[in-house]
Amino acid sequence: MVHERARRDYDARLNLDDTLYDSAALVKAASGADALLICPSDKMTPELVDQLPASLKIIACFTAGYDHVNVEAIKARGLTLTNAPDRLTEATADITFLLLLGAARRAGEGEALMRRQGGWSGWHTLFMAGTDVSGKRLGIVGMGRIGRAVAKRARAFNMTVHYHNRTRLSPDQEAGAVFHPTLESLLPVSDFLSLNCPLTAETKGVLDARRIALLPDGAIVVNTARGDVVDDAALIAALKSGKLAAAGLDVYTGEPAKISPEYPKLPNTFLLPHLGSATLETRTGMGMNALDNLDAFFAGRTPPNLVV
């Protein structure tokens, strides 16, 4: 649907086989273009932005996140930048809860047992015993669209929701969640910690060794935000020591090719390959959202998801 619409409304050059362009290939592909629709693998460094053709007017991100784009370089070129945040909330919240449940109930270990070790020998009292989710305390870092959708799912599990956000939500958006003005206040009451914040200078490495130490012993960490909000060495050490019972991860520093090799070795990690928005319905909606931004821009209107 997205391809058909792009072809119908634009002179579109489509990357139908999902080739990963390096900088030179991307600059070549953009030659003479008025707009670029980019994915997270397209790293808009200052050097690359400087080489983009003079014809270019707008860059539309396929995703909600735009940490792969140097916004200052975009501003300096006088380009418009948009993102597509409206369609991925529910799918990403679903994945967050999949990770939370999978980590708590040792689903990765159970899957490996069934697939690679030929089944199990029998039942005993502590066989594959994990951690209850129902009735526990969930701390959410970042209470935007996705954080609020995660909180909604948590209430169905009778979890008590606590959150830290740059600003406190209105009472109707809080829906009973407990606000914490600092992470240091949130962490000690988080049996489960869900990272749902954007990657910024302030949130890079925000979950470090000092803050992990503030979590309850046996806590479980889930990350569907960005890999760089976590200090990998600190998280891995806590998983090895038993300070943390488990982690559920969908995003990683250095993904996809340079993630820490320690994570797959740990039995108490439940790992997914950045599947947060990976449903056909959601990805189609994201593409349509990006095209909505282009349509508005070229019609002389403010794009609905303007970044700069």
Query: What amino acid positions are annotated as catalytic residues?
Result: 226, 255, 274
CA distance 289 to 84: 6
Closest-CA residue to 229 (of 195, 270, 264):
195
Q: Is 223 helix (H, G, I), strand (E, B) or coil?
A: strand
240: tokens are 């090895």
* Longest distance between any two alpha carbons in the chain, whole Å: 69
Cross-strand pairs, 80: 58
Residues comprising the chain, all counted: 308
Cβ–Cβ under 8 Å, residues 188 and 214: yes
CA distance 265 to 90: 30
Sheet holding 178-179, edge to edge: 178-179, 160-164, 137-141, 192-195, 219-223, 244-249, 269-271
**How far is residue 285 CA from its own chain's centroid?**
17
Q: Which amino acid is at 202?
A: E
62: tokens are 């396929």
- Count of other CB atoms within 10 angstroms of residue 231: 20
84: tokens are 């597509």
